[in-house]
Structure 1
Amino acid sequence: MAPKVLVSDKLSETAVQVFRDRGVEVDYLPDLGKDKDALLARIGDYDGLAIRSATKVTEKLLAAADRLKVIGRAGIGVDNVDVSAASKKGVIVMNTPFGNSVTTAEHAIAMMFAVARQLPEASASTHDGKWEKNRFMGVELFNKTLGVIGAGNIGSIVCDRALGLHMKVIAYDPYLSEERAKSMGVTKVDLDELLARADFITLHVPLTDKTRNILSAEAISKTKTGVRIINCARGGLVDEKALAEALKSGRVAGAAFDVFEVEPATDSPLFHLPNVVVTPHLGASTSEAQENVAIQVAEQMSDYLLTGAVQNALNMPSVTAEEAAVMGPWLKLAGHLGAFAGQLTDEPIKAINVLYDGNVSHMNLDALNCAAISGIMKATNPDVNLVSAPIIARERGIKIATTRQEKGGVFEGYMKLTVVTGKRERSIAGTVFSDGKPRFIQIKGITIDAEIGAHMLYTTNRDEPGIIGTLGHTLGDAGVNIANFTLGRSAQGGDAIALLYLDEAPNPEVLKQLEATGLFQQVRPLVFDVA
């Protein structure tokens, strides 16, 4: 059955057609997002939800979304989506951070020009029939110092445009390397130096606990007298009351704001102040940007629903369609390793360690980790998936460690998963053969070669005669067929294991009979999702 997507906000017809052309069933109901009760009644019918800013994806809505796998936001901001609740529900949340980058950067540059030359006031004055040429004395951008707070995708475009205007550009960004700054042609500085040196300051960071009020009253007091401040990123990055006071005192010569602490902004301390340019969150408001983000979100959602490719997800590592094709068997293996460990672990888990060797060590390890953790967590929570599993692990205080190494064994690549509890460590390793089938190759340090089936039986014992006969006889009498039988031991007379691939699940009575023989230390049925 084809996946089904609901578009509950206004999206371009081109984007809606992308879903149809890709074979995704789509309902285009652009006004439904404004009616939360109607949306709540219908959301259970869909695998995907495509939105803009009107639709509010709350915890209550997610609770009713039994089929939902992915939410796509046409745009960068996801303030209208409860990402935490979506993650716990196992729903991927995607946005389109690059579709409106040029548009937003251009708006910031336009706002800088506007506040430098007082263009809105001059326009209004001239429209009123006045000719106040001497009143509107502006400043040049040429040779001025622009301080860019946040040199990511949009910020880097602003830097490039400013350099084209022959401005001196300095940038503050904790994640900006010296090499990257040099290649961009900008100077990396700390925040205090930026505040002290910049003639213009423009912000291009997301709103987080760390960036909220990054331009506080204290920060504004450190700025160069006569600075002009531009914010086309997110409301809440600047203390608007403190900025208004600095504008009134003359410390700040002008400001240009496209975003506000409260939106829609019907009132702000910045309104009606001289040389303050304000626009109603127009950063992404060009026809090109709106079309780009709409098409991009339709393509991303279609890719995920049809191929498993993940792009621009906020709560899961990205996996390209090419990666998904190559990694598919390894993702299955990671899930099987996790499922094995999870079904055998009865105590609280303290840590999960994953070793990647050889060719697999060069793959997308974040995604493989998610698959392994998901496999473990499914033992106690069948509804968990690659999105929600890391959240659950983090909430339980489980430490995740990853090690990669170059080829160190007979296999081209393999994975080894170790689960640590307060009582023991349990490890299992596996690989993917050239036929694309995952195999278990080591359990408890004992080498094996086991095909993985939906129903398996795992036993541990001392290496002694009679084990094979007992297993075969007991299962045969119960009518349980053995598809594959794998044995391994640490040494003659030492620890031994058996892993049986069965055509069906053994009933509890069979397990009790095996335990009653006294030959086995452990008898555990295992279930694997091999679909």
Structure 2
Amino acid sequence: MTKPKVLISDKMDPNAARIFEERGCDVDVITGETPEQLIARIGEYDGLAIRSSTKVTKDILDAATNLKVIGRAGIGVDNVDIPYASGKGVVVMNTPFGNSITTAEHAIAMMFALARQIPEANAQTKEGKWPKNAFMGVEVTGKTLGLIGAGNIGSIVASRALGLKMKVVAYDPFLTPERAVEMGVEKADLDTVLAKADFITLHTPLTEQTRNILSEDNLAKTKKGVRIVNCARGGLIDENALKKMLDSGHVAGAALDVFQTEPAKDSPLFECANFICTPHLGASTTEAQVNVALQVAEQLSDYLVNGGVTNALNMPSLSAEEAPKLKPYMKLAEQLGSLVGQLTRDSVPRISIHTEGAAAELNMRPMVAAVLAGFLRVQSDSVNMVNAPYLAKERGLEVREVKTEREGNYHTLIRVSVKTEAGERSVAGTLFNNQDPRLIELFGISVESDLSGDMMYIVNEDAPGFIGRIGTLLGENGINIGTFNLGRRETGGEAVLMLSVDSAVSEDLVKAAGDLPGVKLVKALKFA
């Protein structure tokens, strides 16, 4: 089997390349290329490992015809066009925990430097001025720290601040009251944080919702004398508005490790005496650089070799341990989605995925993505588990998920239902021996069948002679039958036939089968 091929396009710890090789990938380390050079090269790679220098644009993604996964060694992925990558079916991962402690510690260090004016005091002392009376700092003990973002890094900063005997008030739309109690912080809305905080630190990604979260209006809501620290992402603060507030004294000081434009060479903030800055050093420790490089290599190789999905930003996570157990379920889910997609002629406003028994105890999101991939692949052969949820949303397809942990007639079951103009229609399947996908119900009729290769779906009247007629027709056309599976609602009523054949089913054969006595519908099916 051909090994997956990975390109490391930014400088990172050399052990990353070693991990790729040890885990079954071929790897090239080629850094510092221009976008044009990367476009010319990227088509031969299955994986791309980057830091912040490589910008993964639409042009690069269009040229990346074999690319399956992008791994960012670090947290921020604003250098990757994630929506476009998702549309292309490319998984985008980051390593959110590798530099968390390092970045949190840098925020705390910047807060102390700001509180005690250490950089200016250091500079003047080195000039021989001995400015003992020129700098009057403030204690952090007893002060209120306002967190904007209480995720992984924010929670570490909160822990350190509580250890310094600070009070912590946090704004984060995803922070639950229970988690706030566990962290020992007060959960509040943004205006409350701005009004209460003596120090504000930011720990949120840059999105359309968070861009300029400290706008001129919001900065005006802060307590007079507040000090602001940003070691997260540039663009979270309106830098021109911050300069005005620093100049007026409303903001007593600010410390930034990140800027809206980097490298920052002419920021208006540089003119402010009460301003401290560092050149994006939040993740710059020996430990963090090693950690994120090793983690991105582990994550990408796990995905390319074993199917494990860790820290993906556009796909449900699926650990390397989970992947083997879920693999047959995901295959069944994709087959059922494909079946209902191929058999549904009407527009579908809603699709429901119902897991029952053992299936309901597993991670449902990958199974849902697999159903959608199978269902939508009828419309486009470029659909996969990554882009299927996005395409479903684009098309206004409502997706419902239902779990029933109790067992029914089967130990494990997945049911896929679609709402159509004719009403609700569903198919269901199970696993034989916990690994072999099998169709067990088709639009309310019990029928047991594999779903693979070329097949025919036939609806007919349950009457003598039909099996002979269809067998004769296929024989006359040189079509060999693989499996033959019948089901019916009642004796003499409507029956269905799922027939696997050894060669593709032509339109002429479909028409000829449809002309047989008693046949109501014939469809050619194809499964991966």
TM-score (norm 2): 0.97
- 8 A contact 2:361–2:405 mirrored in 1: no
Structure 1 residue 437 corresponds to structure 2 residue 455: no
- Report the alpha carbon displacement of residue 424 of structure 1 after superposing the two structures with TM: 4.5
- 8 A contact 2:356–2:405 mirrored in 1: yes
**Residue in 1 aligned with 2:389?**
390
CA distance, structure 1, for counterparts of residue 233 and residue 258 of structure 2? 6
- 8 A contact 1:332–1:371 mirrored in 2: yes
**Residue in 2 aligned with 1:321?**
320
CA distance, structure 2, for counterparts of residue 169 and residue 508 of structure 1? 69
CA distance, structure 2, for counterparts of residue 401 and residue 267 of structure 1? 51
**Residue in 1 aligned with 2:62?**
63
Per-residue Cα deviation, 1:294-331 (whole angstroms, up to 9, x for no partner): 11101100000000111111111111111111000000
Per-residue Cα deviation, 1:25-74 (whole angstroms, up to 9, x for no partner): 01111223xx1222111111111111111212111111111111111111
Per-residue Cα deviation, 1:127-154 (whole angstroms, up to 9, x for no partner): 1111111111101111111111111000
Structure 1 residue 266 corresponds to structure 2 residue 265: yes
- Report the alpha carbon displacement of residue 463 of structure 1 after superposing the two structures with TM: 2.3
Query: Which stretches in structure 1 are left out of the alignment for 5+ residues?
Result: none
Of 250-259 and 490-499, more deviation after overlay is shown by 490-499
CA distance, structure 2, for counterparts of residue 453 and residue 195 of structure 1? 59
**Residue in 2 aligned with 1:7?**
8
Per-residue Cα deviation, 1:401-447 (whole angstroms, up to 9, x for no partner): 11111224111111111123345443211111115100001001111
**Residue in 1 aligned with 2:377?**
378
- Report the alpha carbon displacement of residue 472 of structure 1 after superposing the two structures with TM: 1.9
**Residue in 2 aligned with 1:195?**
194
The residue type equivalent to 1:93 in the other structure is V
The CA RMSD measured in Å over matched residues stands at 1.4
The residue type equivalent to 1:10 in the other structure is K
Per-residue Cα deviation, 1:188-212 (whole angstroms, up to 9, x for no partner): 1222221121111111111112212
CA distance, structure 1, for counterparts of residue 81 and residue 176 of structure 2? 32
- 8 A contact 2:4–2:46 mirrored in 1: yes
- Report the alpha carbon displacement of residue 514 of structure 1 after superposing the two structures with TM: 1.3
Per-residue Cα deviation, 1:70-106 (whole angstroms, up to 9, x for no partner): 1111111112111111111111111111111001000
The residue type equivalent to 2:89 in the other structure is G
Structure 1 residue 81 corresponds to structure 2 residue 94: no
CA distance, structure 2, for counterparts of residue 90 and residue 219 of structure 1? 38
CA distance, structure 2, for counterparts of residue 422 and residue 395 of structure 1? 21
Q: Identity over aligned residues, as a percent?
A: 55
- 8 A contact 2:43–2:63 mirrored in 1: yes
The residue type equivalent to 1:364 in the other structure is N
CA distance, structure 1, for counterparts of residue 169 and residue 223 of structure 2? 14
Query: Which stretches in structure 2 are left out of the alignment for 5+ residues?
Result: none
Per-residue Cα deviation, 1:459-508 (whole angstroms, up to 9, x for no partner): 11222222222222222333322222111112223222111122333333
**Residue in 2 aligned with 1:257?**
256
- Report the alpha carbon displacement of residue 513 of structure 1 after superposing the two structures with TM: 2.0
CA distance, structure 2, for counterparts of residue 303 and residue 280 of structure 1? 33
What pairs with 1:399-478 in structure 2 (closer than 5 Å)? Answer: 399-478=398-477
- Report the alpha carbon displacement of residue 512 of structure 1 after superposing the two structures with TM: 2.3
CA distance, structure 1, for counterparts of residue 227 and residue 422 of structure 2? 61
CA distance, structure 2, for counterparts of residue 365 and residue 120 of structure 1? 52
- Give the secondary structure class of the aligned counterpart of 2:147: strand
CA distance, structure 2, for counterparts of residue 446 and residue 512 of structure 1? 24
- 8 A contact 2:9–2:32 mirrored in 1: yes
**Residue in 2 aligned with 1:361?**
360
CA distance, structure 2, for counterparts of residue 509 and residue 211 of structure 1? 58
- Give the secondary structure class of the aligned counterpart of 2:271: coil
CA distance, structure 1, for counterparts of residue 177 and residue 391 of structure 2? 37
What pairs with 1:292-303 in structure 2 (closer than 5 Å)? Answer: 292-303=291-302
- Give the secondary structure class of the aligned counterpart of 1:104: helix
CA distance, structure 1, for counterparts of residue 17 and residue 331 of structure 2? 32
- Report the alpha carbon displacement of residue 453 of structure 1 after superposing the two structures with TM: 2.6
CA distance, structure 1, for counterparts of residue 88 and residue 325 of structure 2? 27
**Residue in 2 aligned with 1:287?**
286
- Give the secondary structure class of the aligned counterpart of 2:97: coil
Structure 1 residue 239 corresponds to structure 2 residue 256: no
Aligned length: 527
CA distance, structure 1, for counterparts of residue 159 and residue 240 of structure 2? 31
